[in-house]
A and B are shown apart, each in its own frame.
Chain A
Amino acid sequence: MTDSSLVQQEEADILRQAADWKAQGRSVAIATVVSTWGSAPRPAGSQLVVDGEMNMIGSVSGGCVESAVVHEALEIMESGEPKLLEFGVSNSAAWDVGLACGGKIQVFVERLN
């Protein structure tokens, strides 16, 4: 499967989980990679879904910015105000997740209403 098709397959499953959680009455926020520069670990369209208990499924970066995104997601679950976050993946962080060099990503975080 092509990379993008794989991503779509995965994202659809992640969104299914988001719908299930919502149906169970949980608070749910969805984070989506909308653009990338340099060697970003995950392509545009990649998603991370978080619930109010910080359960997560999916990923937006392969690990380096997830905790920051989850933190924002919890606030956005409360406020309902979506946010566009930008992260530079530093060379040291990039090293940790096995990237050849740094990259930059924009992540849109929104509440599932």
Chain B
Amino acid sequence: MQSATLAQIQTDRDGKTPVVRALDLEDGNEHLIRPFDDDSVGALLQAAQNAALADKSQVVEIDGKRIFLQVFNPPLRMIVVGAVHISQALVPMAQIAGYDVTVVDPRRAFGSDIRFPGVTLSNDWPDVAVTELKPDRRTAIVTLTHDPKIDDPALNAALTSTAFYIGSLGSRKTHAARLARLSKAGFDEAAQARIDGPIGLAIGAKSPAEIAISIMAKITQALRQGPVGESPAGDAPAGDASATGVKETADRTTPAASAGA
């Protein structure tokens, strides 16, 4: 490894930029790939993207060469908009699952240190807060207030980011109204389809804690099997957990969070 390569990896890591080191196992030659903003095309870039998305360092064979792809991903993050009851259950779950969590609520009485000890809190307006946090492919964004004044600006900001998951609490009816507002605001159907609503995996969740579980499950599915609205990745490596993953298909008629809506 060259010292310059090592220094660049540290810089990218500090800047929360995903980077993949491609190492030729024959001769030790190496180079760094920015999997999501590299202009080059080809099998190696594709493989680097797959490795980064799967968060898994691995050997690939390209043009008869064995190349080790070492993934350096930024940490997982979750932005929770709405310091509500469900959030109090969701935040510790997300932290256990390895997410850096920020709770955003402009209503100071809700988003207080007493209700969320040890959590990063922002009382900024959600569009400002979400934009400033610069959500990336390792970020999940969840809105839980039910209040369009708070949720909508957060969703507007979320949809202009590359966040791997965007979910919004609310019944089917609430969600339809939300999508209509987003449509008016200029977001097309593809953008609207990025929002998981009614939020969560359909497991019949009732209590705030159960709803938090269903949200966490859906986020995990998006992380491991691909974004909401896309079919789970078919090229997952053998032995990967996705092989046993739950596929959500016709089940969406029983929204997990309907009780909370």
Instruction: Please list the residues of chain A having a beta carbon within 8 angstroms of any beta carbon in chain B.
Output: 1-2, 4-9, 11-12, 15-16, 18-19, 22, 30, 32, 34-35, 43-45, 81-82, 84, 106, 108, 110-113
Contacts and interface: CB of A to CB of B under 8 A. Distances in A.
A5 B28 contact: no
Interface stretch (B38-46, B53-61, B84-92, B197-205): B53-61
B246 interface: no
Interface string B42-79: 00000000000001111100000000101111011000
B16 to A, nearest CB: 12
B9 A15 contact: yes
Given A8-B71, A32-B70, A34-B68, A112 B6 contact: yes
Interface residues of B, number: 26
- Secondary structure of the A side of the interface? mixed
B1 A30 contact: yes
Contacts of B9: 12, 15
B76 A45 contact: no
Nearest to B73: A8
B13 to A, nearest CB: 5
Nearest to A47: B70
Contacts of A84: 25
A110 B7 contact: no
A45 B71 contact: yes
19 contacts: A2-B76, A2-B97, A2-B98, A4-B55, A4-B57, A5-B76, A5-B98, A12-B9, A12-B10, A12-B13, A19-B3, A19-B7, A32-B23, A34-B68, A44-B58, A45-B70, A81-B28, A112-B6, A113-B2
